Amino acid sequence: MLPPFSQSAQGMRSSEIRRIMKLAGDPSLISFAGGSPGTSLLPVDIVDELYGALSTRAKRTALQYGATDGYPPLIAEIGRYLGSKGINTDGQGLIVTTGAQQAINLVAKVFADPGDAVVTEYPSFIGALAAFKSYGAETVGVPMDGNGIIIPDLLKTLDKLGKRAKLLYVTPYFHNPAGIIYGERRKRELLDALSGRDIILLEDDPYGELYFDAADKPLTATMKSMSNHDVNICYTGSFAKIFGPGMRLGWLCATPEIIDKCQLAKQSMDACSPTFTQVLAAEFLSKDKMPGYLEGLRVAYRRRAGIMTNSLKELMPEGVGWTPPRGGFYIWVTLPPYMDASEVFQKAFEGGTAFVIGSAFDPAGEKNDCLRLAFSNTPVEDIERGMEVVCGAVKACVRK
């Protein structure tokens, strides 16, 4: 006999992420589904070089348990890196996490009680929505425009919730899935809107380095680096898109009080993040391997995004919109309001392609007139062919 599952397990729904990862991995499909970096672009040679140059002592450290807050040289290197992005870590706490996913999970765990509201953008990252829901929080979406979350809608939502919102979760830099980057003014307006409110701003930034044009780099300046505000910001980043998701490494920078609690929570989750990859990541940063590697990534992703955008322009029927990508991994396509993305998916899937339907990114799980196309991990030679299928599927769903 099986005892009943816990209430939180009973609340878990079949994960869209699992389905996506499975589809993305099916070699017979041209997949625009997973949010994975380009497999052929992963820095195998850099890892070989860094590992080969380690001393036996460092290799032993790499195979041993480590401190819950992270491998000290890596914490120091991440601190230095954040400093180069204008984030002052003095007086802040900083821990290494098992991916940004764990950082989001930790913040959710230490703040969200069952029934609390967590406000997110609409659309929002599926992994974060799943993490908030796993603690019994109610996720409430606020729409975005091309410059970020819409402030009057956010204020209306916060004022009308009828319950306490402890967290606002945003992904301002090359959003997953919306593809947009926040404007300078919108970030200030957001901080002003949250000022004086008892709410944590969870600023998630795994894609900020992946701008296509250096002229956009100033837009990647984080809210965490901005002064003259009183908003409590938890800032998270990741090595997943700038080194390799298999490293399973991210970080969380927040006030020492929050970091202390997160560290306690992390102790019971995984004791420590993988020491093996932390040693490599510390070398990646200290040997200054990242800037050159990122340059190559930006060129490769810009090329993939360009091919996808050209196909959209050429092949999509009237009434379909999308965000022109300026960085990151994604294009968010808006279908005519009567169209159902699941129907489009079915047709595209039969034609040998996959993407993710919009409802997966809706905090309420309902709106389904959008779809997310990831250009990051589709070989250049397959993108046009796959896009012909996707655009053909949309055309086939146009109302006559």
- Residue 140: strand pairing partners: 119
Which of 204, 209, 283, 362: binder of ligand PLP (CB under 6 A)? 204
Choice between 238 and 278, CB closer to ligand PLP: 238
Which of 16, 35, 122, 169: binder of ligand PLP (CB under 6 A)? 35
Rounded to a whole number of angstroms, the minimum distance from the CB of residue 92 to ligand PLP is: 20
User: Which positions ≥6 away from 23 have C-beta within 8 Å?
Assistant: 29, 31, 33, 34, 354
Which of 111, 122, 125, 173: binder of ligand PLP (CB under 6 A)? 125
- Binding mask 158-187 toward ligand PLP (x if CB under 6 A, else -) reads -------------x----x-----------
Residue least distant from ligand PLP (Cβ): 99
Q: Pick from 289, 323, 296, 388: which is nearest to 32 by CA? A: 388
DSSP-based three-state secondary structure for 391 = helix
Rounded to a whole number of angstroms, the minimum distance from the CB of residue 356 to ligand PLP is: 11
Which of 37, 99, 141, 325: binder of ligand PLP (CB under 6 A)? 99
Q: Give the span between the Cα atoms of 294 and 208, in whole angstroms.
A: 11
Q: Is 120 in the site for ligand PLP (CB under 6 A)?
A: no
Q: Is 240 in the site for ligand PLP (CB under 6 A)?
A: yes
Q: Which two tokens stand for residue 279?
A: 């040693």
Rounded to a whole number of angstroms, the minimum distance from the CB of residue 240 to ligand PLP is: 3
Q: Is 206 in the site for ligand PLP (CB under 6 A)?
A: yes
Q: Give the span between the Cα atoms of 354 and 31, in whole angstroms.
A: 5
**Which stretch in 86-94, 97-105, 151-159, 224-232 sits in contact with ligand PLP by CB under 6 A?**
97-105
Helix, strand, coil share of the chain (percent; to 5): 45, 15, 35
- Binding mask 312-341 toward ligand PLP (x if CB under 6 A, else -) reads ------------------------------
Choice between 327 and 389, CB closer to ligand PLP: 327
**Which stretch in 96-104, 113-121, 213-221, 353-361 sits in contact with ligand PLP by CB under 6 A?**
96-104
Any idea which residue has 């890596």 for tokens? 74
Site size with ligand PLP, rule: CB under 6 A? 14
Q: What's the 3-state SS for 321-341? A: EECCCCECCEEEEECCCCCCH
- The one-character DSSP state at 219 is G
Q: Is 238 in the site for ligand PLP (CB under 6 A)?
A: yes
Are 180 and 146 in contact by the 8 Å Cβ rule? The answer is yes
List helix spans (H) across 86-168.
Answer: 99-111, 126-134, 151-160
Rounded to a whole number of angstroms, the minimum distance from the CB of residue 235 to ligand PLP is: 12
**Which stretch in 138-146, 238-246, 349-357, 392-400 sits in contact with ligand PLP by CB under 6 A?**
238-246
Number of Cα atoms under 13 Å in the Cβ half of residue 171: 27
Q: Give the span between the Cα atoms of 283 and 269, in whole angstroms.
A: 26
Q: Is 101 in the site for ligand PLP (CB under 6 A)?
A: yes
Any idea which residue has 């800032």 for tokens? 235
Which of 74, 100, 308, 391: binder of ligand PLP (CB under 6 A)? 100
Are 390 and 348 in contact by the 8 Å Cβ rule? The answer is yes
- Using left for φ > 0, alpha for ψ between -120 and 50, and beta otherwise, residue 379 falls in beta
Q: Give the span between the Cα atoms of 230 and 250, in whole angstroms.
A: 25
Q: Is 16 in the site for ligand PLP (CB under 6 A)?
A: no
**Which stretch in 94-102, 149-157, 194-202, 375-383 sits in contact with ligand PLP by CB under 6 A?**
94-102
Q: Give the span between the Cα atoms of 138 and 132, in whole angstroms.
A: 8
Q: Is 274 in the site for ligand PLP (CB under 6 A)?
A: no
Q: Which residues bind ligand PLP (CB under 6 A)?
A: 35, 99-101, 125, 127, 171, 176, 204, 206, 238, 240, 245, 250
